[in-house]
Structure 1
């Protein structure tokens, strides 16, 4: 059985509206939509047909970004998706302005599940001589680490982890927002499970269901010989945990080199000042000077 659809008024091809090929990926569609929407948004484009062009771009993206509606459009054209577009309305409820529309639509203002733990920064000072020769230093830092009771799972050991009721195990939720120019569908990280697709029935008693806890840890850092004041050392993976299955952040160690009473530095050269009496300065001679290693 092949369904039939009533004739529709003449419309431009949606792929032509967005300026993409028919095999465009979802990422291609998103980039094209943003480009065209920015181009025809009436706040920036004062041409008389800008509003209609903006609505046309929005309508095209709403269809092509939805796999099911895209398949119908690819097979039957505009007739296959007739009547499925969201209606517009007067006003900009839910949006503060031009930038807010795109920030909200593309998730700029939504909470996103972290893809790594937070980075940490630490400041230490070393003496001039230690900076010249290098030295190991022990740092004591406080950071979030994986809970050793639930092993990052957030649930009290022996209790169940269930499908998130907020997103039904998808990790994302869809929210429709209406603007004067049409209807936008926004996909955001589920606020209930934070994109993890599951929730716990009983939270871990030690970490209160966070999956991580703050701990004090000692880390040895090797200060390399010849390090300069203001250098930042990067230690991979020694930042805060990102949770189960998520990469830990990094640790940045900022190095301050203390001034020395005798020596100064210019690039890779060590400088010092020696006082001479008149005779030595006039006739020359030999003097004893102190060096970095004595």
Structure 2
């Protein structure tokens, strides 16, 4: 008997919440759409384990040594006392010592699995949020039969072998002699009914694999590598069963004009040296449209200009972060004769006593106002 606790990576005293968390983690890890088709069987094991351990009655049976997913393979391991012995004995006689309840037919309708997809959005969508369309390839309800699996105008019929019970009794030889045991009906595979005329589109499964477009509501301020959950947008189960959830992994593409740090946006603007010296008003593009900013006189390379409320939306408060413009001063590489004379004149008046470039672990304070006022006068 499979160790379902080990499959989910939990202890035998795990709570319902522990089981749910473990299932979500393991199902995402081994989902064939992510891990690859070779993990299909492992993914089925995870689902089987969750199906048993998430149901209190099935979990009790399992803890007593009976696997509800495979009752014919159960044994005495884990059974305790009269209850465990009764459960195992019931596998031979079709019920407990008290002539208890018999096995019922296996429903054709099964819940669908969760699906996982990836989607890339631009930075502006991450700032403001919005609905983005994505296409997924997964199982959906068969429109021709409506999920019944039967051809139009036909219905499943009662199995003549098990008479709708889904299980049949067989006589088996054991060390104790001949005994009666209960097993799934081979003709109807335990369903109790037979689809004599399967739907030609889904071949009796009630679902077909197809592509469909899903609108994903992206919240403002979402971070890169986030995961969104869309309830009931995953795979439709066999027999038209309820759809699982769809998980969407979000990636944010790089933007040409802005970079993001937390809730703030950053950009770098290159300005001529004269603008940095004398000051200048200009317009820059933002996600909120053109914005006017002022380069102050005496602006230094890597100085910043902050525009409040133009950054990324904060998910909790819906307020906006800041847009921080970094100033890059462009030093001319070629000068006209008249321009060169002005710079030389400024150098003689300001740098005549200079010996070498100062060296320090961090910038030394300087009289920026006096320096740039003199350079301003030289260029005017």
Closer, same or farther: CA 249–30 of 1 in aligned 2, 3 Å: closer
Q: What SS does structure 1 have at the residue aligned with 2:84?
A: helix
Paired residue for 1:70?
A: 97
Q: Deviations over 1:107-164 (max 9, x none)?
A: xxxx997741122222221111122122322223333222222222122233342234
Closer, same or farther: CA 116–178 of 1 in aligned 2, 3 Å: farther
Largest Rg, 1 or 2? 2
Aligned positions, number: 211
Query: Quick check: 1:141–1:217 contact (8 Å CA) kept in 2?
Result: yes
> Which structure is higher in helix share?
2
Q: Deviations over 1:67-125 (max 9, x none)?
A: 854338xxxxxxxxxxxxxxxxxxxxxxxxxxxxxxxxxxxxxx997741122222221
Closer, same or farther: CA 26–246 of 1 in aligned 2, 3 Å: closer
Paired residue for 2:229?
A: 234
Instruction: Tell me by how many angstroms 1:248 deviates.
Output: 0.8
Instruction: Tell me by how many angstroms 1:289 deviates.
Output: 4.0
Query: Quick check: 2:122–2:252 contact (8 Å CA) kept in 1?
Result: yes
Instruction: Tell me by how many angstroms 1:257 deviates.
Output: 0.4
The separation in 2 between residues aligned to 1:119 and 1:142, in whole angstroms, is 12
The separation in 1 between residues aligned to 2:254 and 2:164, in whole angstroms, is 59
List runs of 5+ in structure 2 lacking aligned partners.
1-56, 67-75, 100-105, 290-380
Is the aligned partner of 1:292 residue 2:324? no
Query: Quick check: 2:232–2:243 contact (8 Å CA) kept in 1?
Result: yes
Is the aligned partner of 1:144 residue 2:144? no
Instruction: Tell me by how many angstroms 1:32 deviates.
Output: 4.4
Is the aligned partner of 1:31 residue 2:63? yes
Query: Quick check: 2:206–2:238 contact (8 Å CA) kept in 1?
Result: yes
Paired residue for 1:163?
A: 158
Query: Quick check: 2:202–2:208 contact (8 Å CA) kept in 1?
Result: yes
Q: Deviations over 1:3-26 (max 9, x none)?
A: xxxxxxxxxxxxxxxxxxxxxx78
Instruction: Tell me by how many angstroms 1:30 deviates.
Output: 4.2
Q: Deviations over 1:228-250 (max 9, x none)?
A: 11112211112221134621122
Paired residue for 1:116?
A: 111
> Comparing 271-280 with 206-215, which one deviates more in the overlay?
271-280
The separation in 1 between residues aligned to 2:123 and 2:171, in whole angstroms, is 61
RMSD: 4.4
Paired residue for 2:242?
A: 247
Closer, same or farther: CA 273–246 of 1 in aligned 2, 3 Å: same
The separation in 1 between residues aligned to 2:84 and 2:228, in whole angstroms, is 46
Instruction: Tell me by how many angstroms 1:29 deviates.
Output: 5.6
205, 208, 211: which one aligns with 1:213: 208
Q: Deviations over 1:236-293 (max 9, x none)?
A: 1122211346211222222110111231212212222344666776787766543222
The separation in 2 between residues aligned to 1:177 and 1:293, in whole angstroms, is 78
Query: RCO (CA 8 Å, sep 6+): is it higher in 1 or 2?
Result: 1
List runs of 5+ in structure 1 lacking aligned partners.
1-24, 35-52, 73-110
Instruction: Tell me by how many angstroms 1:196 deviates.
Output: 3.5
TM-score when normalising by structure 2:
0.44
Paired residue for 1:107?
A: none
The 5-angstrom pairing of residues 55-204 of structure 1 reads 61-65=84-88, 66=90, 68-71=95-98, 115-164=110-159, 168-171=163-166, 193=188, 196-204=191-199
Closer, same or farther: CA 29–287 of 1 in aligned 2, 3 Å: same
The separation in 1 between residues aligned to 2:200 and 2:194, in whole angstroms, is 15
Instruction: Tell me by how many angstroms 1:31 deviates.
Output: 1.8
The separation in 2 between residues aligned to 1:186 and 1:274, in whole angstroms, is 82
The separation in 2 between residues aligned to 1:56 and 1:229, in whole angstroms, is 49
The separation in 2 between residues aligned to 1:215 and 1:26, in whole angstroms, is 34
